[in-house]
Structure 1
Amino acid sequence: MSDLAPKLTHLNEAGQPAMVNVGPKAMTARLARARARVRLGADILALVQAGDLPTRKGPVFQTAIIAGVMAAKKTADLIPLCHPLGMDDCQITIETVQPDSLVIECTARVTGKTGIEMEALTGASVAALTVYDMCKAMSHDIVIEEIRLLDKTGGKSDFHHAD
């Protein structure tokens, strides 16, 4: 591999897993936004059109939002080489999209030496999993799809996904 080729950052010179040393990096304000789509099907989506869907486990959207924020805060416990971060903010939104889907977005912020995109991706993913868990009694045809990073700013390089 040439010196100009991209390298995996979580491998040391011996090819073994290693945490990235962020000690020398500058503290900067960082933001990441991630999205997950949940294809519920038109019948379940119709039930949530007028607002949150109450279930025996609680209101779906409110529960998913809380689960997503909790998961984003625990990202370093879930993904082995992620640095623990004291997030400045984490917001999750859930919107219905015709004919059959939800779009969940997680925006996470931190002032730190490393990015926060894994936290945003984890928050969106766990919120989507929570929707699945709470709606699975109505259908097992629910599909979680397109979990992706939309934006990240404040690090060595910014990223923006053009829809």
Structure 2
Amino acid sequence: MDKLTHFNDQNRAKMVDVTDKDVTSRIAQATGKITMHPETLNRIHEGKIKKGDVLAVAQIAGIMAAKQTSQMIPMCHLIPLTGVDIKFEDDNDKTIIITTTVKTKHVTGVEIEALLAVQTALLTIYDMCKAIDRGMVITDIHLVEKDGGKSGHFVYQDQ
């Protein structure tokens, strides 16, 4: 097991020192899904949710979350993002799948930014549709892939 790097010599939490790491291109992709009543998804498709365009708002919320990760997650570094993309797929029945891709050229990775973007976009969908469907379920949030940096390439393997 690798030594945990988020603890100082007094065994207290610290932000990892990345001062001496090389700047490299880094990318992370994360995904998650929200399941709802079929009528809720139909109303999203038809633009009949009173709060507005659900997917447009969720997309902006996810991008904003990625940009604010270091303010939300205590040990995350402030990372200059060079790209954030959020895509939506659905099964035309009851499930929306969100995939985020986050990029940077920096000394540390953007996995948490990608995961936070997915979760925020999913929560935004829930928030915008909760008046008609409080039984929505958010599931399967995970890192799909990451590349760049010392730890190299990772691809999720279904367990």
Compute the TM-score of the two structures, normalised by the length of structure 1. 0.90
SS in 2 for 1:124: helix
1:126, 1:89 → 2: CA distance?
17
Match of 2:136 among 100, 117, 142: 142
The code of the aligned residue for 1:76 comes to S
**Which aligned segments of 4 or more residues in structure 1 are displaced greater than 4 angstroms?**
none
Paired with 2:48 and 2:78, the residues of 1 have a C-alpha distance of: 34
Q: Are the counterparts in 2 of residues 54 and 60 from structure 1 also a CA contact under 8 Å?
A: no
Unpaired runs of 5+ in structure 2? none
SS of equivalent residue, structure 1 residue 67: helix
What's the % identity of the aligned pairs? 38
Deviations 1:28-58 (A, max 9, x none): 000000011111122212333xx46342222
Query: Is 1:71 matched with 2:65?
Result: yes
Distance in 1 of aligned mates of 2:114 and 2:68: 11
> Are residue 160 (structure 1) and residue 151 (structure 2) matched?
no
Q: C-alpha distance in 1, partners of 2:118/2:79?
A: 17
TM-score of the two chains, using structure 2 as the length reference: 0.92
* Pair 1:17 & 2:13 matched: yes
* Partner residue, 1:95: 89
Distance, in Å, in 1 between the alignment partners of 2:96 and 2:5 is 34
Aligned-residue RMSD, C-alpha: 1.4
Q: Please give the alpha-carbon distance, in whole angstroms, between the structure 2 residues aligned to 1:64 and 1:33.
A: 17
1:41 maps onto 2:37 in alignment? yes
